Every structure is written in C-alpha cells, then in structure tokens.
Amino acid sequence: MFMKKLLSIFVFTLLATLLTAQVSKNINIPTAGTLTTLLTETEKTTVTNLTITGIVDARDFKCLRDEMSVLAILDMNSANIIAYSGSDGTNGYNYVADEIPQMAFYNSSLGNKTTLKSFIIPSSVTSIGMGAFEYCSGLTSITLPTNLSKIESWAFYNCSGLSSFNLPTGLKSISDYAFHSCYGLTSILLPKNLSSIGGAAFISCTNLAEYIVDLENPNYSSLNGVLFNKDKTKLISYPCGKTGGYITPSTVYTIGNSSFSSCIRLTSISMSGSNSLTKIESSAFANCVNVSSILLPSSLDTIAEFAFQECYSLKTITIPSSVRNIESSSFYYCSSLTDYIVDNNNPNYSSLNGVLFNKIKTKLILYPAGKLGEYTIPISVLNIGSRAFASQNGLTSIILPNNLTVIENMAFFNCVNLTSLTLPSSLTNIGDFAFMLCSKVKIINSLNPTPPMIGNNCFANTNSVTDVFVPTINAITAYKNHTDWIRFFPDDIIKSNQTTEIFKPIENNLKIYSTDFEILVEGTKNNEVVELFTTTGKKLQSVKSNGELLKISVGRVGVYLIKTEKKTFKLIL
C-alpha cells in the first residue's frame, strides 16, 4: 500500500515537471513565411523558449502568435524582417520591412498572448507597429534595438507586467496610447533624440510617478516629474501616479492634448498663477474622476473639446472674463456639475441659474449635467447649442421658449428620462442626433404646421414614441409627406390634436379660444372655477369666472389641461 502511494506521488511529480518544463529550440528561417512548416505540431504546443535567425515576415509572426500556444521566451536578435503584402499576416494587407507587424501578438478572436514573458527584438528593427504587443500582460522583459526610431499607438497597451525598459537613444517618436495601461511602470527615461510624443502615450499608467528627460534633449524637459516642452511653455503629460493637487508653473501657455487624462489620483488643479496660459487642449483633463476643484487663469482664451469630460467630482466651474471659446463637449458628462459661473466682465458668455449662455442669452450653450428635474428655458433663447443637454440623465422635463428657431446637433442626445416634447411653432431646424436615444419620450407635440427640417438620426432610437401631434389637418399631410419625419414616425403616429384656432363648443354655451400667450374661455358661469394644469398634472393656475369672457395668461407655448366644473380637456397653445 505504501509503495503504491509512493509510486503515485512520483508519477504526479514527474508529470508536473514535464508540464512545467521549458522546451527550447533554435531555428533558422531561410525563406520568409515558412516558420509554420519548420515546426512540428508537437513543437508548436510544447516549445517555450525559441531563438530565430534568418528572414521573417508578418506570416511568421502570425505563426508565433496563433500556433505556438506556450511560447514564453523569444529571441529574434539576429533575424531580419522583410516587407510582405498579402492576407496571411497578423492584421491588414501591407507590411513594411524592419517593423514588428501591427497586432503581432494580439488576436482578439483567439485570446491574448499572455504566455509571452521575454522578447529580444531584431536588431535591425526601426519601428514597432500598432498594437504589436497589445494585452501581453505576462511580458516582463523587452529588449529594444538601438536602431528603433518609432513606437506606434497601442504598441504596448495593457502590458501590465512591464515595470522597466530602456528606450534607445535613437528613438524619435512615441505615438498616443503606445504604453496605455502599463500599470507596472513607475518612471520613464525619455532619450535625447526624442522629438515627438503623444500626450496620451502613457495614459492610465496609474503607478507612473515621474518623467525623466535626458538633459541633452532639445525638445522636452521635466519639472517635478511632469513632462513639458523644452522651455516649459506647454505642459505635455502629467504622470498618472502622482497624488493630490497640482499647481501649473507660471511659464505655461498651453495645457496639451490629454495631458492629465485619466489621472484618477489628481484631486485639484490650479492654473490661476499661469497668467500667460491661453489654451486648454482637447481631452486635457478627461476622466480625472476625483478632481473637485479647478481654478482657471484670468488669461484663458479657449477650452477645447472634451477638455473636462467625465470629471465626475466637479461641482462648479468659474469661467474667467478672458474666455472667448468653449467647445460644446468641454464638460461632457460631468455628472456632479450644477453651476457654470461666468465673470460679469466676460463679453462673450453669461450664466443664469447655473446654465451657460452667450452674453445676450439668445443661445443656450451648456446645461450642467448635475442638475435634476424640470427646466424652463428663458424666453430670450433662439438657439439651443450643440450637445447643450447631451446625456443629462437628471433632466425629466423641458419647456422650450416661444421664439426658439434652431436646435443644434446632439442638443438632447441620450436624455433618457425625458418623456414628452413640445416643439414651438417658431422652430424651423433640428440638427443631427438632436433627440437620439431619448428612449422614454412617448409624445411629441410639434406646433409648427410646416414640418421643421430635421438632421440625420435626429430621432433615432426613440421607439417609445406613440403620438406625434401636429396643429392642423393640413399639417398632418405636410408631416406625412416629409421624407425625414415619416422615416422616424409611421403614418398612424402622426395625427392632429386641438389647434390654436377657435375650438368647437365643449358644451352648449362653452367655447375655448387661444392666442400665442392666452387661453380664452367663453360661456362659464359666475363664480365657476377654471383650473389650468400641465400634462403631468401640476396645477399652474386657478381662476374664478365672473360670468364673462375669462382670460388665462400662460406666457409660453405648450400643452395644457383645462378643467371646468363638468369637463377636462387638452389644449395645444
């Protein structure tokens, strides 16, 4: 019995040893594209350490990626990569010489090459292609050749096991996202010949605490671990591993593209001391989810697209008097933001109740994403700007002003809690994607008898709409004959409701009239109470009749319920 147990232990140990044993092979490839024929099927599933010499192309990298299932250590120092055109490579059709092919070790359909731990790149290589080592999370050692001059975007995306490597002196360019999510990196030394680096090259490297720049580099410099151009007039990249707040140096003129993007440990940013700072470029502070305080300088001129997108902790922002340009997506999805505050001396912008407008309030520019409930747009507004209300999940009801003429692209995109819309008779143009994904809207009241022009996908994915009410019988025909409206709403959805003309008698002596700003009720009894409600049941007015013509002022167009002693009815004004 004892011997059987001992034998079992021995067999188990032997099997485990065999399974974990490293299997090495050296192979010379005389003809590019033939690696798969030079390996046996057994070798493809057992070789862990491989040294390659000879001539290779993208087809051989495909074999390494897709067929060698346990490959861990790869030495290609003495191999040469030649050009290849064809469909049997790693991704795409045309592959250049001396480049690690794009997607060399990443195949989304077969899974990530997590077995690869170490790779010595061919000494002749000058470029690493897009996504070459994407998701190689087991990679802990990479030897880059001295001739390397360019690292393309996503090349080392999510190589989370990489903690250090040496960038060669001759390296000239690192593209955006090249080292995205390399969580193991704590510092990076940028060589003297580097002349181009994307602001997002090291985005989401959450442990990266400092950039160190070779003192002989004529293009870049660093200060307290932050990357700048040489004279520190442009801030290029802030290390994501830094914690707490940050004050920009007084020398800075520009905050670069994606320079602070996804710095989740950053809590505050002060630019108020940078009196020459004029521009915050696109996505500069995107996804800085814990930034709760931002101080903008008095010299600032431009806030570019998506500059503060998804700064979830930001509650207020003060716009200085100098600002002339704010892109519509600048504060997209800042879900806690409740107030835009504009310096009174700003000649271009203003704010009212936390909402951002142009100076004279004829254009609504941005509505804070953190505001909840209903909103009534001021009567002065003629134009609702692009993305003004986009993804405002807290918005449940919107009242549009009487004189509104234009709703721009994506203005109400993804307002998922809006349930009804009343479009005023003055409205003539609705932009692309304006109400796309407003998935709870059931009723649309369009008060213009001439169908407003609507853009591409204006009402896409609003399948919950059951009724589109238009003001007259003739308007039904106009809307049904309009190619854009009928594309979104079938014939049976478009129908006529009450009009703004004199209404037929509700009772023998009761008539209802309407103007642009008043409801007129004729035929009520002395002391009869007439009540006015919104379509959601909110009481707006209660008026006692003196037996004569009763006037109820409402101030704006909309859909109302009017309740008399014997009947309740709906009116479009």
Q: How far is it, in rounded angstroms, from Cα 323 to Cα 390?
A: 22
Q: Which of 546, 468, 557 is nearest to 519 (CA)?
A: 557
Q: Which two tokens stand for residue 472?
A: 């007259």
pLDDT at site 558: 67
Burial 2-31 (b: 16+ CB within 10 A, else e): eeeeeeeeeeeeeeeeeeeeeeeeeeebee
pLDDT at site 48: 97
Query: Per-residue confidence of the chain (573 residues) as pLDDT tens digits?
Result: 545 555 555 445 444 444 457 899 999 999 999 999 999 999 999 999 999 999 999 999 999 999 999 999 999 999 999 999 999 999 989 999 999 999 999 998 888 899 999 999 999 999 999 999 999 999 999 999 999 999 999 999 999 999 988 999 999 999 999 999 999 999 999 999 999 999 899 999 999 999 999 999 999 999 999 999 999 999 999 999 999 999 999 999 999 999 999 999 999 999 988 899 999 999 999 999 999 999 999 999 999 999 999 999 999 999 999 999 999 999 999 999 999 999 999 999 999 999 999 999 999 999 999 999 999 999 999 999 999 999 999 999 999 998 999 999 999 999 999 988 999 999 999 999 999 999 999 999 999 999 999 999 999 999 899 999 998 889 999 999 999 999 999 888 998 864 343 233 344 456 666 655 677 777 777 888 888 877 666 778 888 888 777 778 876 666 777 877 767 766 766
Give the pairing type, strands 127-128 and 150-151. Answer: parallel
What secondary structure letter does DSSP report for 452? P
Could you give the 3-state DSSP secondary structure of residue 477?
helix
Q: Which two tokens stand for residue 53?
A: 């010499």
Give the pairing type, strands 79-81 and 127-128. Answer: unpaired
Query: How much is the CA Rg of the chain, to the nearest whole Å?
Result: 33
Residue with tokens 């004004």: 573
Q: How far is it, in rounded angstroms, from Cα 223 to Cα 207?
A: 18
Q: How far is it, in rounded angstroms, from Cα 154 to Cα 451?
A: 47
pLDDT at site 8: 56
Residue with tokens 């940078």: 274
pLDDT at site 505: 37
Residues ≥6 apart with Cβ < 8 Å to 164: 185, 186
What secondary structure letter does DSSP report for 101? P
270 within 8 A of 245, measured Cβ to Cβ: yes
DSSP 377-420: --TT--EE-TTTTTT-TTEEEEE--TT--EE-TTTTTT-TT--E
81 within 8 A of 54, measured Cβ to Cβ: no
Burial 449-464 (b: 16+ CB within 10 A, else e): bebbebbebbbbebee
Q: Which amino acid is at 524?
A: T
End-to-end CA distance of the chain: 96
DSSP 320-351: PTT--EE-TTTTTT-TT--EEEE-TT-SSEEE
pLDDT at site 504: 36
Q: How far is it, in rounded angstroms, from Cα 309 to Cα 332?
A: 5
Q: How far is it, in rounded angstroms, from Cα 147 to Cα 90?
A: 23
pLDDT at site 573: 62
pLDDT at site 498: 46
Q: Which of 565, 570, 552 is nearest to 509 (CA)?
A: 565
Output the CA torsion 152→156→158→159 (10° steps): -170
- Phi, psi dihedrals of residue 526, rounded to the nearest 5°: -60, 130
Q: Which two tokens stand for residue 116?
A: 């690869």
- Phi, psi dihedrals of residue 420, rounded to the nearest 5°: -150, 155
DSSP 271-285: -TT-TT--EE-TTTT
Could you give the 3-state DSSP secondary structure of residue 473?
helix
| 437 CA to centre of own chain | 16
- Phi, psi dihedrals of residue 350, rounded to the nearest 5°: -150, 170
Kind and range of the H or E element at 190? strand 187-190
- Phi, psi dihedrals of residue 321, rounded to the nearest 5°: -70, -20
- Phi, psi dihedrals of residue 483, rounded to the nearest 5°: -60, -35
With left for phi above 0 and alpha for psi between -120 and 50, is residue 131 left, alpha or beta? left
pLDDT at site 506: 42
pLDDT at site 499: 39
Q: How far is it, in rounded angstroms, from Cα 364 to Cα 85?
A: 53
Output the CA torsion 127→133→134→135 (10° steps): -160
Kind and range of the H or E element at 355? strand 355-358
Residue with tokens 């100098």: 322
* Distances from the Cα of 282 to the Cα of 63, 162, 174, 200, 328, angstroms: 40, 29, 19, 11, 12
DSSP 23-69: -EEEEEESSTT-HHHHS-HHHHHH--EEEEEEEE-HHHHHHHHHT-T
Q: Which two tokens stand for residue 124?
A: 């002749």
Q: How far is it, in rounded angstroms, from Cα 521 to Cα 548?
A: 9
Task: Report pTM.
Answer: 0.81
Q: How far is it, in rounded angstroms, from Cα 177 to Cα 201?
A: 4
pLDDT at site 152: 97
Q: Which two tokens stand for residue 468?
A: 């589109």
Could you give the 3-state DSSP secondary structure of residue 155?
coil
